[in-house]
Amino acid sequence: MVTSTSAKKHLATTLEVPALRKKYYAESLQQAGGRKVAWCSNGIPSEILEAMDINAVYLENYATVCAAKRLSSGFCRAGERAGFSQDVCGYARILMGHLLGGEEAPQAPYGGVAKPDFLIVNSYSCDSRMGWFGTMSRTLDLPLYVLDAPYQPQGGCMDDVNVAYTESQLEDFAAFLEEQTGMKLDRDKLREKLDLSRRSHDIQVEIFEMRKAVPSPMGAGDAYTIVWPGMYMAGTKECDEFYQRLRAEVSERIEKKVGVVPEEKFRLLWSGLPFWYNMALLNYFEEFGGVVAIENAYFRYQRSLPSQHDDPIKDMAISSTMRRPYAGDIEQRAELTRDIVRDYHVDGVVLAFNPSCRLMYVLQPELKNVLDRDGIPNVSIECDMADERTYSEGQIKTRLDAFIERMLSRRK
C-alpha cells in the first residue's frame, strides 16, 4: 500500500547516515554490559550523557526505525493488545509492543535495543511522553528522571526565575546520573562537549539558511535523514565533522546551481512530521518539478548562545530555557511559518496531520486557518507518522495530486 520507505537522497553526505545509525545501535547493544543504559526521549541533552559515558537509546528514533522497516503494524498491534489505546502516540505503542509484545511482536530491528538501567524523559516537547515513560518506569520497575523546563509561551522565558528552575532541574539530573552510574560528572568534559555541539548546531543553522537558495540545494527528503547525528550524537567529533562535510556539499551545490530538480516549478514547506514508513512521499513532487524545500519539524534557526559561565550546567540552563517550546503557541508558530514561507520562497504548504502526535495534531487546524487567511496555498493530508495502518494511498494521492495541479496552474 505505501510507496516506498526511503526518500531519494540527492546528497552524497546523506548516504553516510544509515551506517552511522546502524553503528550507533550496534555499539549500544555490544556495550550494554559495560556502560549504563539510559532510555531517553528526544531532546534529552546528549552532551551530558556523553560526558558520563552513558549508553543512550533514544526511543522515538528507534520507533521511526521500526516504522521505516515496515514493522509498525505488528508492533502497534502488540502495544494495543497490551492495553494501550490506539489514540496514544504511535512511537509509544511501537515501543510498548516491543517491550510487552513477546512472541506476538515482530523481530526487533538491529537485534533490538539495549535493556535500560534507568529512564529519562523531558517535558520539552510534548506531554504524551511523560505518561509513556511513567508507565515504562512502572512496567520495568526502573527509576525515571523527569527533566522539566518552563513552558511559558509568551515571553518571560529568559528571566532569572525560569533559568534558575531549569538549572535546578539539570543539577538534579546530574546528581541522578551520578547516583545511577557511580561516576562523578566531569564538568570540563561536559564543557568540551557543549562547545562541540554548539559548533555543530550552528553549522546546522547555517545549512538551514543556505537552503533558502533557489534552486533548492537540499530538500526534505535529505533533511529528515541528516538531522540524525545532531539529535543523537551531539557533542561528538563525528557529528561535528559530518555537518562540516554536509555544509561543504550544500555550498558546492549552491555554487554550481545544482538543485533537487533540474527545473523548479514550485517550492513547498512540509509542516508536521513525515510518514516514516513512506518517506518517498517527500520526493513525490519532484517528477512534477516540485521540491519540498523546507520542513518545520526540526527547524533550527537560532544560533547558539556563546558560553557565559564557567559552569557548563549554567549554560545549559539558559539554552534549555531559551529553546522555543517545540511547536510553540500558535502565534509563534504562525509567525515562524510566515517567515519560512517568505525566506524560503515557498509556494505552498503541505500540512501533515499526524493523529497520534497530539502536540502537532492539535495545532495544525489553527495553523491552516492562519495560512488560509494569509492566502498561502495549502493542502492537508492526514496519516499517522508511525502507524502505517492509517495510510490510505488513494486518499493521500488524490489530495496531493490536486495540490500539484493547483501549484502548476497558479498565476505566477
Partner 1 sequence: MITVGVDIGSATSKAVLLSGDEVAGHSLIATGAESANSARRVMDEVLQRSRLSPNDIAYIVATGYGRVIVPFAQETITELTCHARGANWLFPSARTILDMGGQDCKAIRCDEEGRLENFAMNDKCAAGTGRFLELMARVLGLSLGELGELSLEATSEVMINSTCAVFAKSEVTSLIREGKARADVLAGLHSAIAARVYNLLRGVGVEPDLVITGGIGKNVGVVRKIEERVGLKALLPEEPQIVGALGAALIAQERIASGKEEAKW
Partner 2 sequence: MIDNLRRLRRERHQEARAWKERTGGKVVGVFCCDVPEELIYAAGMLPVRLLGAHEEATEGNLHFPTNVCPYPTSCLDQALKGRYDYLDGVIVPNVCDMVRAMYGAWKLNVGIPYLYFLEVPQRIGPRGVEFFAEMLGRFRSSLEELSGNTMSDASLRQAIDVYNRNRELLRQAYDLRKTGLISGVELQEMVLSSMLMPKEAHNQLMSECLEEASQRNPAGDGVRLLVSASMLDDTDFFQLIEECGGQVVADDMPTGSRYFFHSVDSEAEPLHALAQRHLAEIPCPRKMLPGARLQYVDETMADADVQGAIIHNLKACDCHLYEYPYLREMLEAKGLPVLFFRGEETEAELETQRDDIEAFIEMIRG
In the complex, the residues that contact partner 1 under the rule CB under 8 A are: 372, 377, 379-380, 394-395, 398-399, 401-402, 405-406, 409-410
Longest Cα pair distance anywhere in the chain, in angstroms?
A: 65
Rama region for 141: left / alpha / beta (φ>0; ψ in -120 to 50; rest): left
Lay out the site mask for partner 2 across 298-337 (x = CB under 8 A, - = otherwise): -------------------------------xxx------
Least Å distance, CB 132 to partner 2, is: 6
AA letter at 412:
K
Q: Does 158 bind partner 2 (CB under 8 A)?
A: no
Three-class SS state of 90: helix
Three-class SS state of 79: helix
CA–CA separation, 214 and 38 (whole Å): 42
Q: Could you tell which of partner 2, partner 1, none binds residue 388, using a CB distance below 5 to 8 A set by kind? A: none
CB of 296 within 8 A of CB of 271?
A: yes
Q: Could you tell which of partner 2, partner 1, none binds residue 399, using a CB distance below 5 to 8 A set by kind? A: partner 1
- Nearer to partner 1 (CB atom), residue 34 or residue 394: 394
Q: Could you tell which of partner 2, partner 1, none binds residue 82, using a CB distance below 5 to 8 A set by kind? A: partner 2
Q: Does 362 bind partner 2 (CB under 8 A)?
A: yes
- Nearer to partner 2 (CB atom), residue 134 or residue 289: 134
- Nearer to partner 1 (CB atom), residue 183 or residue 280: 280
- Nearer to partner 2 (CB atom), residue 144 or residue 313: 144
SS (H, E, C) 199-219: HHHHHHHHHHHHCCCCCCCCC
37-40: strand order across its sheet: 55-58, 37-40, 118-122, 144-147
Q: Does 30 bind partner 2 (CB under 8 A)?
A: no
Q: Does 153 bind partner 2 (CB under 8 A)?
A: yes
CB of 36 within 8 A of CB of 57?
A: no
Cell triple for 96 = 510498548
Q: Could you tell which of partner 1, partner 2, none binds residue 243, using a CB distance below 5 to 8 A set by kind? A: none
CB of 58 within 8 A of CB of 98?
A: no
Cell triple for 284 = 513525490
Least Å distance, CB 116 to partner 2, is: 16
The distance in angstroms from the start CA to the end CA of the chain is 35
DSSP conformation class of 116: P
- Nearer to partner 2 (CB atom), residue 44 or residue 213: 44
Q: Does 134 bind partner 2 (CB under 8 A)?
A: yes
Q: Which of 242, 225, 285 is nearest to 261 (CA)?
A: 285
Sites of contact with partner 2 (CB under 8 A)? 82-85, 87-89, 92, 123, 126-128, 130-132, 134-135, 137-138, 144, 146, 148, 150-154, 161, 165, 168-169, 172, 329-331, 353, 355, 358-359, 361-366, 369-370
